[in-house]
Amino acid sequence: MTTLLPRPALRAARLPSTHSPFAARQTASPIFRRFLATPRGEQPRLRIGSEAPNFQAKTTQGDIDFHKWLDGKWGILFSHPADFTPVCTTELGAFAKMRGEFEKRGVKMIGLSANDLGSHDKWISDINEISQTTLQFPIIADADRNVAWLYDMISSPDLEKLAQEGGIAFTIRSVFIIDPAKKIRLTMMYPASTGRNSSEVLRVIDSLQTGDKKGVTTPIDWSVGEDVIVPPAVSTEDAKKKFGNVREVKPYLRYTQI
């Protein structure tokens, strides 16, 4: 099974919306429905540690090439089903207010919503008014669902419905944390009815950056300043040399401070 979108399919993924893969016939086979094997090809399989697919897109801050836009920094890509929807509006307002916290950690944020730029600009005015903030990160215009397709942001029931009835996809609520090497480090997928926790996204960034820098892992509900866990691959003796004090609860569960 192909795990990455082939180059021809990537080129096809940038076709204009008149070549939409979502106009599938009702007579499509189960395999056709599962993969929507259209000019875009099979959807890529996004896994932790795989490279974040590159794409070109229009945003509220101009045209971008995603990999160039990341520019060797941490990045957060988060999608929204549509402009002028209640849950999405509260989410973008919350992320906009936390901009300073993400910037302190060297993290770039970029949103995505399945509408055009004209709609985005008007929606941002609402977000700023409702949340009493100034949204300053770009929002991708994905009216043709090219990025939603590339990042598997479409639910299985919606794929089935589209294969049978045609139409346009409903983009689900997704989060991707991407490291400076362009590797996907975390994915979160939410139903449309449930808003995300912006503090949790920041907490995961702290955990990943701490782990990369210090060679540790973090326990449940961990936050900065609390004890961390010594990885199983590190012996207790080596951990004491590296960190000093090591608290052993079990041979496989050892805490330390950094």
Identify the DSSP state of 117.
Answer: H
| Predicted confidence band of residue 168 (pLDDT cuts 50, 70, 90) | low
Percentage with pLDDT > 90 across the chain = 69
Is residue 71 located within the same domain as residue 173?
yes
pLDDT of 12 higher than 50: no
CATH number (domain holding residue 224) = 3.30.1020.10
Q: What is the 3-state secondary structure (H, E, C) of 58-116?
A: EECCEEEEHHHHHCCCEEEEEEECCCCCHHHHHHHHHHHHCHHHHHHCCEEEEEEECCC
Residue 152 lies in a domain: yes
pLDDT in tens, 140-166: 999 888 898 899 888 777 666 666 766
Catalytic residues: 88
| Predicted confidence band of residue 18 (pLDDT cuts 50, 70, 90) | very low
Is residue 248 located within the same domain as residue 185?
no
Is residue 228 located within the same domain as residue 148?
no
Residue 230 lies in a domain: yes
Is residue 228 located within the same domain as residue 114?
no
| Predicted confidence band of residue 22 (pLDDT cuts 50, 70, 90) | very low
Is residue 168 located within the same domain as residue 244?
no
Is residue 106 located within the same domain as residue 173?
yes
pLDDT of 28 higher than 80: no
Q: Which residues constitute the domain of residue 248?
A: 215-256
Is residue 174 located within the same domain as residue 248?
no
- Total number of domains in the chain: 2
Residue 5 lies in a domain: no
* Mean pLDDT to the nearest integer, 99-115: 96
Residue 122 lies in a domain: yes
Residue 159 lies in a domain: yes
pLDDT of 9 higher than 90: no
pLDDT of 1 higher than 80: no
Residue 236 lies in a domain: yes
